[in-house]
Structure 1
Amino acid sequence: MPKRYANMHDALKTVFGHDDFRPGQEDVIDTILSGQNVLAVMPTGAGKSLCYQVPSLLLDGTTVVVSPLVALMDNQVAALRANGVAVSCIHSGQDRARNVEEWKRVSRGEADMLYLSPERLMTDRMLSAMAQIQPPLFVVDEAHCVSKWGPAFRPEYAQLSQLKSLFPNARVAAFTATADEGTRVDIAAQLFGGNGRMIVQGFDRPNLSLTVQPKVNRSAQLIDFMKGREGESGIVYALSRKNTEEHARALVAEGYTALPYHAGMPADVRFENQERFIAEDGIVMVATIAFGMGIDKPDIRFVYHVNLPSSLEAYYQEIGRAGRDGNPADTVLLYGLDDIRMRRQFITQEDSDQDHQLREHKRLDALLGYCEASTCRRQVLMAYFGETIPPCGSCDVCENPPDRIDATDAAIALFQAVQDTGERFGANHVIAVARGAETEKIRQFGHDQLPSHGTGERWGDGFFKSLVRQAIATGYLQVDMQRYGRLVVTDAGRKLVSGEGAFLMTEPKAPKPKRDRKRKVAPDLLDQADQELLAKLKGLRRDMARALGKPAFIIFSDATLIDMAQKRPLDRAQMLSVSGVGETKFERFGEAFLDAIN
């Protein structure tokens, strides 16, 4: 279809209603428009979607966007259509007649973009159809799924490596928020043979505070964290569906508005909960990792993990959903020995080869190292992604530097208990042996007769649990998942027992309360009258979204409503000066919002 925009800035303003690009966006768009392949690694909230949507409005032909989730496709397509973009979408959630009609629009040259899943694109029939239209650009979203080196490899994504040979004249643009150096190199090699640009934006999100705490009582720790956060929006990530429901109930019992979200819930209930979270203030979503991808809510003030994520990449992506408005947001991660055992178990139970499992264990090791960091936590996180930064001053380690102590004697007592019991038991049992406990299990196995029984009676249970976590993180102990999570002493641990070296550890201590951070967004930006108007505009947006059966952010984002409440436009020209109000959105929704303001 003929292109209607003079250049990228014209498209940005006319369609999306923005005066300026965010940092880094123009470089990616220029690269695509110049005909080069590109892999862009951009942090969550950096606006990667615009980096391929704008070129699609300027290139001749239909851009093909490969996306992994039906819900993500539907949301992006609905948002683009609300902005007046001609876009088609084909996926398994639509009936055949609808998919046929969507393709006819593409074949007639009436669509700037076509959204597809990788499985749908890489069929012989679809590839033959693609050969007839010769797309100028293939976009691979969530590109870390391409790489076997990545933590979220999906076999159907691997077939996308054929695109460059099948369509040599097309550009390939790949986007992801999280990929370490090895994964980045592999993605570029798979998708375009390394023949293209790699644009890596900074990973650091300085507005996010980072805190890690050992698990004591997950529910009580979560409730304690929530004190003083009434009215804030946040996400609580839990490992299982059952825990999701339990933590949501606990928060509701304490007076918070909390909603569960997991794959086992009916689709309509999940949709309604997601819509309330996006549209309303002060809702806490308690969710499994099924929630979060594609969520466009800028004022999420905290992300709280009650369980250990799968890797540093997953953790970075999940905390990246907080503070996308640039204002301070808090992240907290709880973890305990049971988390380590469960994560090891998940890896060994995967249907994957030994090399992949080894990489996953190493990824988990890196996450444990982050959890047990005794230096600036942000430095450790950024170093994993290949960046060097000075100490941040705002993580828990910087604010409350841990004391390092010589725990060699305690470590030897514990490691000897592991060895004396035949490396056949988990942490709780060997700690009990080292401390000289007289449990029924210890008597049953005769472990009260071992030389190591009671050699660690000077130290408490909590001290030893911290020592075990740190010994695993630093490679003195391993969790053997082939043998049900039993502890095993490594070469480093055996050397320590034989008298070589010392074991230094961070002394366990109760976390100090974090200093007060300015968290609430609207009161900082808006006076009382503007806040009242903002609430009215959000209510109007919610009602319109429900009438349309679409997510609220598709009408206007929170950032747009805040700008609207501040500027109080009185006519069309003034409304078009509001960030995020393009010409098509004004025609569809603008008059109703002008009436509300006036």
Structure 2
Amino acid sequence: MRHANLAPLLKQTFGYDTFRPLQREIMEAALAGRDVVAILPTGAGKSLCFQLPALAREGLTLVISPLIALMKDQVDALVASGVAATFINSSIQGSEAHRRRSGLEEGHYQLLYAAPERVMMPDFVSDLQRWNVTAIAVDEAHCISQWGHDFRPEYRALGQLRDALPGVPFLALTATATEQVREDIIRQLHLHEPEVFLASFNRPNLSYTVLPKAKATSQVYDFVRQRPSEAGIVYVQSRRSAESLAAALTAEGVKAVAYHAGLQPEERAANQEAFIRDEANVVCATIAFGMGINKPDVRYVIHADLPKNIEGYYQETGRAGRDSLPSECVLLYSRGDLVRNLKFLDEMTDAQAAEIAARQMRMMADFAEGTECRRVALLDYFGEQWPGDNCGGCDICLQPREQWDATTHAQKLLSCIFRIRQKSGFSTGLNHVVEVLAGANTEKIRKWYHDQLSTYGIGKDVPREEWAVLGRQLIREGYIDATADSFQTLSLSKKGLATLMNRTPVMLTRVPIAVKAGTSTGKVAKAGSIACDEGLFAELRALRKRLADEKGVPPYVVFGDASLRHMCREYPHTERGFLAIPGVGSQKLADYGAAFMGVISQWLEGHEMLKFAAEAAPPPPPKMKSEDGLTGTVLETLRLQRQGHSAEKIAALRGLVVSTIHSHIAQGIQRGEVKADPRDYYSAEEEAELRAAAAEHGMESLGKLREALGNRYEYPVLHYFRAFETRK
């Protein structure tokens, strides 16, 4: 089917008029028979990248998914949209398994979900060879790499499908993947010259807030009770904390459940199901909870304990707002969490791994203690630059910090570090420095005679936590050097010593050290907000829950919150009007249109129809096709190439692999968009050899051409040769 049919299929089946960034490019590359690697953040619409092409091509699309619960959720949602999809796993037995297999034999299905363990069974591979598999999607593809999180050895065998199903293109998808993991995915799956797509890591609808951690349970409850009808995840470090926090919230009337790896499988599954079906509003969980959770309407994620690294924090916060509606991410931070995490590393036998883990933990603490925009800091970690100076969606940007003259306080703290070293001949950690400033009567202070220092007690009029915050700021600003070990002993840097001796003014940003109980930021990112009739929204949510329970599916399978909110501002009363609501396709109109329009009509009998300001028009989708047929991603590469950048530099700038950039340039040569000479890429003798091999073996498959040439030529050379031979 032609690519032009993707947009009508999108509206007819899934009810949407436009694609999200990169979705269409990924689909077009997949439909062209290319191998594709897609790195899209959670909420960017990865699943649609293989679901819609499955409807636009003949045959069966095999989806390899790591979790049974995720398979069922996605298949339920597809079936609700009128798509012929099924899954086969250990939960399907007897006559039902036979019925599904019969349907696959007869070609009744367009999508089949299965786990990697099932896929690689010899008998199952034989089945796949009969079932006309024309595409393979590998979801959560980072599981194939030992360098990635959630590594699963079962994924390693998937490359063998290349031999069992030759010529079938692969689409590998993941939410986060470093360059090392991307290369490992390509190698392990035996992908042929894949097109690699890397989306922005920015989640504009998420707001980020860091609050000082005081009494975490009270802080979580105060936050949750202000959002009684919203779903949220609270992450903690330990199993005990998950259970105790869930119990405390339940005692206060909050519908909360616990989730961690230590629960019995039945209880764990039941708690997850309760959360997904809106029977529990809050799940208190360890990091065991998350991968494969398909719930799009999580409105907040709270980290009650410090995550161990920024990538984990990003992934976990990414489970909020997958429906693109405004959602909040709150981190309760205490320096004590970092100290505890670092102490756990003492038990590790691998010194190098412990050092890496410690570095990652300190980067996470720096993020929490930092005074720059949270979004800037997050994107910078992933090598992406935020274009503005105010993101409008984090505590730093929404509540700019006060600048203050910290000279006197800094002089006292720097002097105390200097005097301790001068008196004892060794350095101490920040906590001991604070104790000396506060005039504490501790065993160490008496033992080392630090109560005799001139700086002893000179800071007793300032709360100790303020001294600790100041000390951490001075470390970040380069006034103090801290050792890289878990003790982090302090000494003055050259900058700090000069500041102390010359009494140089020190201007710092004031960091809040306390927050009143019951308060939160009170501000959320506006990106994605949809003003609507909130009373009607509550009525439609209740209807959605009732219909979902009747069908035995999660409420979001019926309609997402975004669709409901659009209904509650448009008040559709005809089939045409209802079909115009985002997320309403033809099947959902047939199944649910009458029920929802009935409730809307009944509501309007007793309530006034509200008027809302027009929504801001979304930015136009990027131009995916030029007149000469080149995709937008190719055109961007050619633009950079004309500026004189090498393929390696362009790959680094765009976050793509070098082989993809060579492929783009070759397409430009073929289309006459790039002025180049064959001698830039191969000699006259090599050209003669290439041409002779191409005459015998053709150029459709560069893999076969390369084998015919004894694998002496790399793929970029073959790309360029084919481009010159066929250029316009």
TM range (shorter): 0.7 to 0.9
Distance in 2 (alpha carbons) for counterparts of 1:293 and 1:90 = 20
Corresponding residue for 1:83? 81
CA contact (8 A) 1:468 1:477 kept: no
Establish whether residue 526 from structure 1 lines up as the match of residue 532 from structure 2: yes
Q: Mean Cα displacement is larger for which, 243-252 or 208-217?
A: 243-252
| Equivalence map 1:501-520=2 (5 Å) | 508-510=511-513, 516-517=522-523
Question: Which deviates more, 146-155 or 197-206?
Answer: 146-155
SS at match of 1:236: strand
Q: 1:159 aligns with which of 144, 157, 160?
A: 157
Normalising by structure 1, we get a TM-score of 0.81
Structure 2 equivalent of residue 207 of structure 1: 205
Q: Which residue of 2 aligns with 1:316?
A: 314
CA 309–243 in structure 1, closer or farther in 2 if over 3 Å, else same:
same
C-alpha displacement of 1:260:
3.8
What is the deviation of 1:253?
Answer: 5.1
CA 1:515–1:72 in 2, change beyond 3 Å: closer, same or farther?
closer
Partner of 2:565, secondary structure, is helix
Residues 498, 384 of structure 1: alpha-carbon distance in 2 compared, 3 angstrom cutoff = closer
1:378 to 375, 379, 382: 375
1:122 counterpart (99, 120, 123):
120
Contact 1:248 1:260 (C-alpha < 8 Å) held by counterparts: yes
**Secondary structure, counterpart of 1:148 in structure 2:** coil
Answer yes or no: is the 8 Å Cα contact 1:232–1:282 preserved in 2: no
2:413·2:471 contact (CA, 8 Å) conserved in 1? Answer: no
Show the counterpart of 2:58.
60
In 1, the alpha carbon distance for the partners of 2:90 and 2:337 equals: 35
How large is the RMSD of aligned CA atoms in angstroms? Answer: 4.3
1:466 corresponds to 2:472: no
Distance 2:59 2:426 in 1: 63
Indicate if the aligned counterparts of 1:79 and 1:554 stay in contact, CA closer than 8 A: yes
Match of 2:579 among 576, 581, 588: 576
Name 1:483's counterpart in structure 2. none
The corresponding residue for 2:621 is: none
Question: Aligned AA for 2:363?
Answer: A
Aligned partners of 1:411, 1:592: CA distance in 2, in Å? Answer: 70
Change beyond 3 A, Cα 1:292–1:344: same
In structure 2, relative to structure 1, the CA distance for the partners of 1:357 and 1:94 (3 Å cut) is: farther
Task: After TM superposition, give the deviation of residue 187 of structure 1 in Å.
Answer: 3.3
Whether the 8 Å contact between 1:121 and 1:127 is mirrored in structure 2 is yes
AA in 2 matched with 1:375 = E
Deviations 1:55-89 (A, max 9, x none): 11223322221222221111111111222222232
Measure the CA separation in 2 of the matches of 1:151 and 1:468. 34
The answer (yes or no) to whether the contact 1:37–1:192 under 8 Å persists in 2 is no
For 2:660, the equivalent position in structure 1 comes to: none
Is 1:397 aligned to 2:392, yes or no?
no
Query: Shift in Å at residue 315 of structure 1?
Result: 1.4
1:511 Cα deviation after fit: 5.7
Cα pair 1:88 1:106 within 8 Å, conserved: no
Q: Which AA in structure 2 matches 1:287?
A: A
- Residue 66 of structure 1 contacts residue 141 of structure 1 at CA under 8 Å; is this kept in 2? yes
Deviates more, 1:161-170 or 1:333-342: 161-170
* 1:522 to 1:29, Cα distance in 2 relative to 1, 3 A: closer
The equivalent of 1:487 in structure 2 is: 487
Amino acid at match of 2:8: D
310, 335, 338: which is aligned to 1:337? 335
Matches within 5 A, 1:145-544: 145-164=143-162, 167-192=165-190, 195-226=193-224, 228-252=226-250, 256-265=254-263, 274=272, 277=275, 283-344=281-342, 359-389=356-386, 390-394=388-392, 395-398=394-397, 399-401=399-401, 403=403, 405=406, 407=410, 410=413, 413=416, 432=435, 437-439=440-442, 442=444, 447-449=447-449, 457-459=457-459, 461-463=464-466, 465-466=468-469, 476-477=481-482, 486-489=486-489, 493=490, 496=493, 508-510=511-513, 516-517=522-523, 525-527=531-533, 531-532=535-536, 534-544=537-547
Q: Name the CA distance, whole Å, in 1 between partners of 2:372 and 2:247.
A: 36
Question: Where do 5+ consecutive residues of structure 1 fail to align?
Answer: 481-485
Rounded to whole Å, the distance in 2 between the matches of 1:424 and 1:128 is 68
**Separation (CA, whole Å) in 2 of partners of 1:207 and 1:595:** 32
What secondary structure does 1:517 align onto? coil
Shift of 1:8: 1.8
Q: Which moved more, 1:403-412 or 1:380-389?
A: 403-412
Kept in 2, the 8 Å contact 1:64–1:138? The answer is yes
Q: Is 2:21 the partner of 1:23?
A: yes
Q: 1:135 to 1:430 in 2, by over 3 A?
A: farther
Q: 1:559 corresponds to which residue?
A: 562
Deviates more, 1:286-295 or 1:412-421: 412-421
**Aligned amino acid, residue 85 of structure 2:** V
Matched residue of 2:58: which SS?
coil
Contact 1:9/1:20, CA 8 A, preserved across alignment:
yes
Residue 88 of structure 1 contacts residue 102 of structure 1 at CA under 8 Å; is this kept in 2?
yes
Change (3 A) 1:71 1:114: same
CA–CA distance in 2 between the matches of 1:454 and 1:303? 47
Q: 1:35 to 1:472 in 2, by over 3 A?
A: farther
Q: Give the direction of change, closer, same or farther, for the CA distance of 1:400–1:67 in structure 2 (3 Å limit).
A: same
Of residues 41-50 and 188-197 in structure 1, the stretch that sits farther from structure 2 once superposed is 188-197
Whole-angstrom distance in 1 between the partners of 2:192 and 2:437? 54
Change (3 A) 1:374 1:574: closer
1: CA distance, partners of 2:53 / 2:597: 31
For 1:141, the equivalent position in structure 2 comes to: 139
Is the radius of gyration larger for structure 1 or structure 2?
A: 2
User: Structure 2 CA distance, aligned partners of 1:177 and 1:157?
Assistant: 17
Write the distance in 1 (CA, Å) between the matches of 2:29 and 2:456.
62
- Return closer, same or farther for 1:403/1:88 CA change in 2, 3 Å cut-off: same
Quote the Cα distance in structure 2 between the aligned partners of 1:201 and 1:5: 21
Q: CA shift at 1:387, angstroms?
A: 1.2
1:112 alignment partner in structure 2: 110
The match for 1:49 is 47
How has the CA–CA distance of structure 1 residues 59 and 161 changed in structure 2, closer, same or farther, with 3 Å as cutoff? same
Per-residue deviation, residues 383-440 of structure 1 (Å, max 9, x unmatched): 111111122253223323365857476368569979999999987678657866444x
Amino acid across the alignment from 1:106: L
- Measured after TM superposition, the shift of residue 306 of structure 1 is 0.6
Q: CA deviation at 1:41?
A: 1.9
CA 1:410–1:149 in 2, change beyond 3 Å: closer, same or farther? farther
After TM superposition, give the deviation of residue 457 of structure 1 in Å.
4.0
- Take 2:467 and 2:23, find their aligned partners in 1: how far apart are those partners? 49
Contact 1:140 1:172 in 2 (8 A): yes
Of stretches 469-478 and 63-72 in structure 1, the one that deviates more from structure 2 is 469-478
Instruction: After superposing the two structures, state which structure 1 stretch, 400-409 or 547-556, moved more.
Output: 400-409
Stretch of structure 1 that moved more, 354-363 or 230-239: 354-363
CA distance, structure 1, for counterparts of residue 599 and residue 538 of structure 2: 11
Q: Please, which moves more after superposition, 369-378 or 125-134? A: 125-134
Preserved contact between residue 559 and residue 583 of structure 2 (Cα < 8 Å):
yes
Distance 1:37 1:422, change over 3 A: farther
Q: Aligned partners of 1:157, 1:315: CA distance in 2, in Å?
A: 24
Q: Cα offset for 1:536? A: 3.1
In the aligned structure 2, how far is the partner of 1:52 from the partner of 1:270? 30
Identity score, percent: 37
